Structure formats: C-alpha cells, structure tokens
Amino acid sequence: MGICLKDVGIVCNIGQSKQTVLKSLIDGNANALVKDTNLPLTEPQFVGHVTLSLDEQSKAFSSRNNQLAYHAFKQIEHSFNEQAKGVDKKRIAVIIGTSTSGIAEGENARKALAQNKQYPDDFHYQTQEMIAPAHFIADLCQASGPVYSISTACSSSAKALVSAKALIEADIADIVIAGGVDSLARLTINGFKSLESVSTGKCAPFSEKRDGINIGEAAALFVMHSADSGIKLMGFGETSDAYHVSSPSPDGSGAISAMELALDMAQIESKQVDYVNLHGTATIKNDEMESLAMHAVCGNDVFCGSTKGMTGHTLGAAGALEAAICWLLLSDINSDNDIPANVGYEQQDSNLPAINLSQGQKVSSLKYCMSNSFAFGGNNLSLVLGR
C-alpha cells in the first residue's frame, strides 16, 4: 500500500482544468504572464493572473482565495464523493498551504475604512486568517476530521501533502484533501518589490540575464488516500538550513539533503527520475543554489526545468501547483510523454553548474517526477511522485 494522489483540481493563469493546464505546459505558453497596473505601487509588473468565470455561488464567497479554491474543489468533487462513500466524516481531513489567505480583502477593507470611516458590512477579520481556506474547503466537503493550514512561505502546500501522508499513515484519516491556494495581493506584489526580488520583465529561470520573480496566483487540491495503485507520493525530504531569513544557503546543502532524503524514501536512484520540476524562481541566488544542488544530486543527465516562466511564483500554492504539474505529466492525460520547456530561458549563465534544462522534449516513458520547493528561512522540501 502507498499514499495515492487519486485526483487533482487545478486553477492557475495557464488553465482552469487538468487538460487546459497540461496543454499550456506542453505548448510552452510564453504569454501567460501579463502586466498588472493596479496592484503595484510603482511601475506595472508582470503577474500570473487567473481570469475566472465566477458563477453566482462563488461570487458570494468571502475572498478570492476561496473562489480559486472552490473552482479547484469542483474538479475533484466527483472523485472525492466516490472515495468518501461510507467513510465517517471524522476520518476526512483537510490540510491547506497558503501565505496570503484573504489579505487582499483586508487591504480593500482598510481602504474603505480610510475613505468611509467604517469597514464594509460584509468584511470580517476571519477572512484573512491563515485557517480560512482550510475551513472553507472543509465546509464544502463536510469534513470533521483534522482541519488546518500550513504557512511556511513557498513550501507551504508541499508540506500540506507531506502532512496528509502522515495523517493517513498514522491512521488518523482515511481521506485527506490537501493542497494550496494563494491569490494576488498588494502586500506580496510590493513586498517582493521592496526586497528587490521582482523581475523588470518576464522572469527567466536559470538564464544569464535573469533578474527576479513574477508573482502568480493558483489553487491546486488533491484527493489523497491509501491504495495499491495510481500516482503516488513515494517520498519526501524536509530540511531547514536556517541560513538567512530570505536567502538560501549558497552551497545548496539544505536543498541537496532534501532531494537525497526524498529519493531515499522513494527507494530510487537519481538516474531513475524522468523529470525534476525545479523551484526555479529566476532570482540570482535561488538559481545559483538550486543548479548547484541539482547537479550534485542528479548530474547533467536528468531533465529538469522551472514552470514559473509560465505560471509565475504562486507562493503558498507553488508546492501543490508544481506537484500537480508532475501529476499531470505522469497521468494518462499526457499520452505522448511530453515534458514542459523551461520557458523564459535564453542564454545559460556560465557561472551555473551544468544541468539538463528541458526544451520541451518527448521522453520514452514517465515513471518518476521530483518537485522542489525551497522557501524563506531555508525551509526546503522535495517530493517524489511516481506511478
């Protein structure tokens, strides 16, 4: 038996279903990042903005985060209901990674207070609590088992999947809805700008002229349970190098350990991995560190790349979104065994160790994928998915 990722729902700027997201990935959608003039305090920035066709029900939800989560949940609702037949609601858990929750709604409410001397009637502080999206999803599926959120920056929702695995293996839950959701907000857009981490154009992971990230938004939710077959979470590696509050350890030691631990748990060698979805933020320091780690663990033979050149960096949702991308590649939907190109890549930075960046190849087979999430504070996590 293993921990099966039964189904996944995905909403991001390159698609609002499994099929559309996979098609955009394989096509190498270089136009998915668009300029935003409303959120930045200074000049416009490229962002991964989700264009949602909101139905009347989801318009009534209290935050954009919940709207994104709702649309991801609707994609897995049938699979969840089938799996949950006869299962005690107390044995159903929800774990969600997020870093923004309803912060955008808090920003709007604060603006209304400044203008009108009172908050909007429909605003409540609970909207922006980190637990809010987990409670929201638990209400949708009537889960009464453990319900909580994880907020460890960019590794948040990857940790949600690891926590789901732990709950199932500890016999605390039979089914877990796990994943992540984050939405665009002024705080994150301008916060990363103040850190001088934002690209002046579209991000270019691992390129010589890379100069920073683009922020995106997304939701990705998995139905997880114990099973003999299907796409499985085979291994994970968690480390904390605690080198700096916002910069990774330059020697890549924390990332190397996370990748090696994940491979050891999955009981495979690095050469067996068919594709690694790199954290690949396109900042100078991350790409230096990660290429060093990737080369140390996998050499220059394993295909790898960052998909943030299409989706942007979706912060707390990134771990789940990029695990979902690996899930799509391993699934029967990807009948041609395609892997996505490292969009935005131009000329290789000669200062980086050689790694095998994907240009959008077809491979003979896809059995194992790895996904890296390396967060602020040296909070590192690698996942291995396999079929």
DSSP assignment of 30-56 equals: TT--EEESSS-SSS-EEEE-------H
> Among all chains, which residue has been given the structure tokens 């001397």?
117
- Our answer to whether residue 4 is catalytic in this structure is no
- Residues pairing with 131 in the sheet: none
For 119, phi then psi, to 5°, come to -75, 155
What six digits make up the tokens of 29? 């959608």
Q: Are 222 and 74 in contact (CB under 8 A)?
A: no
| 82: Cα within 13 Å, side-chain hemisphere | 8
DSSP assignment of 116-172 equals: HSS--TT--GGGGSTTHHHHHHHHHHT--S-EEEE--GGGHHHHHHHHHHHHHHTTS
For strands 92-97 and 175-182, give the pairing: parallel
DSSP assignment of 170-238 equals: TTS-SEEEEEEEE---HHHHHHHHHTT-B-SSS--TTBTT---B-EE-EEEEEEEEEESSSSEEEEEEE
Residue 193 to residues 102, 197, 202, 212, 251: CA-CA distances in angstroms? 20, 6, 14, 10, 25
- Our answer to whether residue 304 is catalytic in this structure is no
- Our answer to whether residue 313 is catalytic in this structure is yes
Helix (H, G, I), strand (E, B) or coil at 348: strand
141, 279, 295, 326: the active-site residue: 279
53: how many CB neighbours lie within 10 A of its CB? 7
Hey, what amino acid is at 115? Q
4, 154, 298, 326: the active-site residue: 154
Q: Interior CA angle at 35 toward 47 and 107, to 5°?
A: 60
DSSP assignment of 272-303 equals: G--EEE------HHHHHHHHHHHHHHHTTTSE
| DSSP code of residue 17 | S
71, 225, 313, 326: the active-site residue: 313
For 183, phi then psi, to 5°, come to -125, 160
Q: Spell out the residues 6+ positions from residue 81 whose beta carbon is closer than 8 angstroms to its own.
A: none
Residues serving a catalytic function are 154, 279, 313
